[in-house]
Structures are given as C-alpha cells and as structure tokens.
Structure 1
C-alpha cells in the first residue's frame, strides 16, 4: 500500500481536501529555483471549438504529464502523483482564472443571475509498484448565482478573493452569499471532488 503521494497543485484548498481524506502528501510544484521554467499558460490555453468537458480533462492530463516529468527530472522517490484542474462554463463559454480585477468584474457580471457548470477533473499517475497506471475522473456540478448588483461585484472583487479562482469566485468564501442553489459536489466546486478522488486512490491501494 502506498504511504504517500505527490500533489501537483498550488491550491491550498486541494491540500485541505486531501488532508480531509487523511492522505499523506508532499507538494510537487513547478518553477522552483534551479529547475526549468514550465509553460503553465500554454497548457491552459483553450483549443478552438473545445468543450469544457474535453478542455478540463485534457489540461489535467497535460499537467499530470508535466508533473511526472518534473518528478523524474528532480530524482525524487517514486510515488503516485495526483493532479486536478477546475473550470467554469456558462453554455459554451469557458471561464478560467481572471487576469485582472476588471476581468473578474466581467466574469461575475456574466455569471450574475445564471446557472453555470463547474467541472473538476482529477488524474492520478501510479508509481512503479502499482504498474505505472493512470486513473482519471470528472466531476460536474451546477451552481446558480443570484442577480448581483454592481456594488456587490465591486465589493467582492475588492476583497481579492476572485483572483486565482476559475470563474472569479470561491464557493467556500464570501461568494457563498451569492449562491441560492447548487447541485453536485461541493468539494468538486472547491477544486477536488472527494468522492471521485477517494475512488481513484482506493484503486491504487490507499486506505481511504
């Protein structure tokens, strides 16, 4: 049975959720001093005509590929590697992380009064002792936003919370006051669906 895994994510929310499952983990982050620079923006670029489902699954796979190469390049002990990515979609429009405060305001104004989807893909690359297999899962939830006033959007953006979050909001933060209804996985909306992640890890022999 594996005794730890690498988490290839800078999200503190994913760390928190993985700790909630009782899984010991170490961070495997890109762009550390002395290592090669990785092109995160290139990985997250949306392809023409790509659906949100295909996008988040493809990006998660690419991030996991990069993490596997990172682990080998650094000569780290072999262990399973977990990667996850979250995106927000309103119809065919894919919302990633806002590039600026103005971009965050625009996203929130477009999501106001609408029901959108939150898609989180999870992928785990097993270590050699598990046959180096790769397991993947996709969690899809629906989130309804109340109609937001300009003042509400402005006040929320001023907190800084929208930055670094797909769709420019965090369900676990102040944006919870905007959400009258959601359907699906709360942890998946946060960034790591607990049920699907636990299933994948059990498949690798973790006692979850």
Structure 2
C-alpha cells in the first residue's frame, strides 16, 4: 500500500516541485502561528518546518507522511523572511544586489504509522549570487508583485532570474524545497 503524503504548506512552488519529481500528495496547510527565537538560519528553518509538520500530524489519522518546510534568506548574518511592505521589499533587494547570500530550507518529515511517529529533520543551504540592480530595476521588479510572498523578496524561478549570476548548490532549495535530498530521505523511510 502506498503511503499517504501530505504537504503542510500552501506554497504553489513547493507543490510544483513535488509534482515535478512524480509524487502523489495532498495539501493541508498548517494554520499554526509560527514562532521561534532561533538566531541561526538553519535552526530557525528546522524549528519552523517542525511546527508546520507537527501541526498537521496532530490533526490527521495515520498512516501518513507529513512534509513541513520553511525557507529563509540570510545575508551578512541577517535573516530575511517575506517582506511585509513594498518598502521592505525594496530594502531587501537593495541589500542583496551585487553580492552573494545564502538560502536555507528546513524540512521536517513525520511518518505516522502505528503508535509511534518517526521524525526526520534536515536543512539545505544554497549560495546565490545576485547581480547589481539599480533603483529603477528594483522598483520595476516590485511592481510585478512577485517579491511580496517570497523570502528575501525575490523568486529565482520568476522575473528575478535576470539578476541571478550564480547558484552554488541545489537550485530547487532556492525555490523552496530541496527535492533531491527529500527524495533520498523518502527512500530511506521506505515511503517510495
């Protein structure tokens, strides 16, 4: 019998990535208010992904595998989540342009089967080099609306691709889910 796979995220990008690697899954986004005091990006995304996966795991019957994920951008030690305003987005893009930053995605897998849950946590980091952007380019990009629901105020798979000079590591991690690592972990859990 195939294991039921549940994505604890409303992200259309994560859904596309799961479909891209041939997984059949359902979407049940976590409604839990995310909270963390972690200051390190890898700790933060691991903790938040665990909160999302745990929220859904506690609300459904097994057997099932729940996937929780969270992504942040980090530049010069500063963690950037999703911008809350266009001005904040402009500030983030000005901060990132012309330099290299890191994208961290934490993933939590909870396998519900029987009386005991099995949990796997992992984090991937990818370096992204952003080309220079002037003020008019930043404003033009913000006008697309694309930056407003993305960590670091940009989507590598969208209009911002014109400013990406180099990617070192897993590209899909920057989109929001490191699918190659996820696939390996699912095989280890004997879900596939």
TM range (shorter): over 0.9
Give the SS at the match of 2:23.
coil
Pairing of 1:23-38 with structure 2 (within 5 A): 23-31=23-31, 38=32
Alignment partners' CA distance in 1, 2:65 and 2:158:
30
Moved beyond 4 Å, runs of 4+: none
Alignment partners' CA distance in 1, 2:187 and 2:75:
33
Match of 1:106 in 2: 91
Give the SS at the match of 2:147.
coil
| Unmatched segments (≥5 aa) in structure 2 | none
Alignment partners' CA distance in 2, 1:116 and 1:193:
17
| Unmatched segments (≥5 aa) in structure 1 | 32-37
Give the SS at the match of 1:57.
helix
Give the SS at the match of 2:49.
helix
The Cα RMSD (Å) is 1.7
Work out which of the residue numbers 53, 73, 79 in structure 2 matches 1:64.
Answer: 53
Q: Check whether the contact 2:4–2:63 (CA below 8 A) recurs between aligned residues.
A: no
Q: Kindly tell me the number of residue pairs found equivalent between the two proteins.
A: 192
Pairing of 1:77-96 with structure 2 (within 5 A): 78-96=63-81
> By how many angstroms is 1:131 displaced?
4.9
Structure 1 or 2: more strand by fraction: 2
1:123 equivalent to 2:108? Answer: yes
Q: Check whether the contact 1:84–1:121 (CA below 8 A) recurs between aligned residues.
A: yes
Q: Check whether the contact 1:130–1:204 (CA below 8 A) recurs between aligned residues.
A: no
